[in-house]
Amino acid sequence: MTSISRLLVANRGEIASRVMRTAHDMDIATVAVFSDADADAPFVRHSDEAVHLPGSTATDTYLRADLLIEAARSTGADAVHPGYGFLSENADFARSCARAGLTFVGPPPEVLESMGSKTVAKEIMNRTGVPVLPGAVVDSEDDVDADVLAQSSAGIGYPVLVKAAYGGGGRGMRIVHNQAELTDAVIGARREASAAFGNGTVFLERYLPSPRHIEVQILGDTAGSVAHLFERECSIQRRYQKIIEEAPSPNVDDDLRSELGQAAVTAAKAIGYVGAGTVEFVLDETGQFYFLEMNTRLQVEHPVTELVTGLDLVHLQLLVAEGHPLPAAVLDAEISGHAIETRLYAEDVPAGFLPATGPVHRFAVPDLPDVRVDAGVADGSVVGVHYDPMLAKIIARGASRDEARRRLARALVETQMHGVVTNRDLLVGILREPEFGAGRTDTGYLSRHDPASLARSWQSAEVERIHATAAALAGQVERRAEATVLPTIPSGWRNVPDGPQRIAYSAEDHVVDVAYSIDGSTVRVAVNAEPESELVLRSAEADCVDLEVSGVRRVVSVHRVDDVSYVDSALGSTTLTEVPRFPDPDGRDVPGTLLAPMPGTVVRIAVETKQHVSAGSPVVVLEAMKMEHSVLAPHDGTVTDIGVVTGQAVDVGTVLAVVEEET
């Protein structure tokens, strides 16, 4: 048997910290690798040693097998854990580790190779009797011929799903509803797949409109034993990426659980699987399941399996890598309770899930029983454009599904996430939505429920008024504390009564105006010219306001960073940006100006100057966080200016083009 003493974690973010936590528990020293962008990331501090990889892009750093091998050699590491993503399913990397005398914590290269291609995987599953959906392959080297594509899709039927053959996470994936859309979809999917995975091969597959996404956790050892650790439900997705997962699935009974588990074990044994992996299935409305893909690595959502089985999957991965057989705890595992995981992403939900960037001023999750946090950020972290926008996973366990759901919702409500925009409000909205509460979930959930409406659904109607009041009162306390003259006198105080103090905040797409006056113990406040009745100010500090409105007393937390106030209470969370009293008159854009909604790289310009465009047609395509995002024409009109070139890096607000509206 092999004994691992020093482990290089060839990954970043929360999964790097997660692996290190278990390695340290096993008295295994850890080595981190980090890019320029990750120099101050928490996972670097969690490691025993760390090696710098020059550059910021994944291509220059975490996808450089040669640099990772050299980092292992220079630190004396004897094993490599690839985490998930990056090179975790790369057969060549696994072989390079073996040649360097390093133990690769994962399946053999041959298994990675066979399952790395979704098309080869489907062929193997078909031969072993595991049900698969019909499909066809479009190789990365093939010319995209519309007639050939039409013939390939004819035997599949529309709608067709175009998928990257060598990757996942929704990258290189398109839904095609008719033949006219197919060619452009394949070209776009190949370009995105090539950028994300280094191989542009895609395949066409029959698209099931709203199936359930069920996956089975498997473990295999070097002696040929394979076991499954039950299923996970992963149907709540946006842009084909999971955002909420749970175990067990509320849609799987004991008989179906047995069938799914047996199919997963059969699939794993057919390829000689070793280590931790996942066999993914789609489940149609009749209950028939079909093989989707096999992930030959640890999954993002592995914590829910750990919480309902009491097993540490990273610990088991390391034991198997050392040559140990599967322990009895795996072979005799049972489900206990229910667990639900939410993925906290840096993204703007109302804007269509656009990736968000920026600093993390505060990240604080309440310390509640049976709530687990796997985080990749901390106070002071900066979220950039180079990597996946997932910031953390917040997971809750309960004796029942409803208990886990409620516990997780409360943890998210009390979470303070200040700075970068996140999907936190959407996650709370889903957890509290009746259809989700009843377990009626499938991949079409977010097409039936508007994400922006879900994000607002749990927030009180009066949250903005009360939070703006609290922000204004906390702000005046802070300003008086910083004053050098008469700091104990309330702001706006006059010997002779005068008009109130005024402050305006921008909140999303509108302005909130607050007028307040303080006269001894009397406080008067009007929000948007409407006076707040029966207002009693119990206390006010720069970071906390104890406020009673209409007989209801609430404690409101205020965290001010420069001109932005982050306000939290049981009513919800609000971000308020102070509006300058004297705005720059030249800071306006020409009508029809298209601004970059996020930092990214221009990968395609779809128009030319003087070209007529229709409302909703693509003008510029940006790549950010491994995904393509089309910036669309806001109206029918003519392109009068293009402000960028292909390959250019842009920041938020960069002028991309101007589309002059037709009159």
* Domains, the chain, ordered by start: 6-105 (3.40.50.20), 134-206 (3.30.1490.20), 212-457 (3.30.470.20), 463-578 (3.30.700.30), 593-661 (2.40.50.100)
* pLDDT value at 492 more than 60: no
Q: For helices 179-197 and 146-154, give the axis angle rounded to 10 degrees.
A: 100
pTM over 0.95? The answer is no
Q: Are 289 and 280 in contact (CB under 8 A)?
A: no
Tokens (6 digits) for 179? 């033949």
pLDDT band at 585 (very low <50, low <70, confident <90, very high): low
Q: What is the pLDDT of residues 87-106, one digit of tens each?
A: 999 999 999 999 999 999 99
Q: Is 479 helix (H, G, I), strand (E, B) or coil?
A: helix
What percentage of the chain exceeds 70 in pLDDT?
95
As a whole number of angstroms, the distance between CA 274 and CA 220 comes to: 4
- Residue 204, strand partner residues: 136, 162
Q: CB under 8 Å to 588, separation ≥6 — which residues?
A: none
For residue 140, is pLDDT > 80?
A: no
- Which two tokens mark 540? 């006010």
Q: Which residues are part of the catalytic machinery?
A: 297
Which helix (H) or strand (E) element contains residue 374? strand 371-375
pLDDT at 618: 93
- Identity of the residue numbered 116: G
Structure tokens at 7: 């482990």
Q: Is the pLDDT of residue 444 over 60?
A: yes
Query: Are 317 and 276 spatial neighbours (Cβ–Cβ below 8 Å)?
Result: yes
Q: Phi and psi dihedrals of 248, rounded to 5?
A: -75, 175
Residue 130 φ then ψ, to 5°: -85, 125
Whether the pLDDT of residue 121 is over 70: the answer is yes
pLDDT for residue 295 is more than 60: yes
Residue 24 to residue 274: CA distance in whole angstroms:
23
Q: What distance in Å separates the CA atoms of residue 73 and residue 321, rounded to the nearest whole number?
A: 19
Residue 207: other Cβ atoms inside 10 A: 20
The helices-and-strands tally (H runs, E runs) of the chain is 18, 39
Task: Give Rg (Cα) of the chain.
Answer: 27
Instruction: Return all residues near 157 (Cβ < 8 A) that are at least 6 apart.
Output: 206
| pLDDT, average across residues 509-527 | 87
The amino acid at 321 = A
Q: Which residue has the higher pLDDT, 338 or 200?
A: 338
59-84 average pLDDT score: 97
- Whether the pLDDT of residue 663 is over 90: the answer is no
- Across the range 165-176, mean pLDDT stands at 78
Among 188-197, 217-226, 526-535, the range with the most confident prediction by mean pLDDT is: 217-226
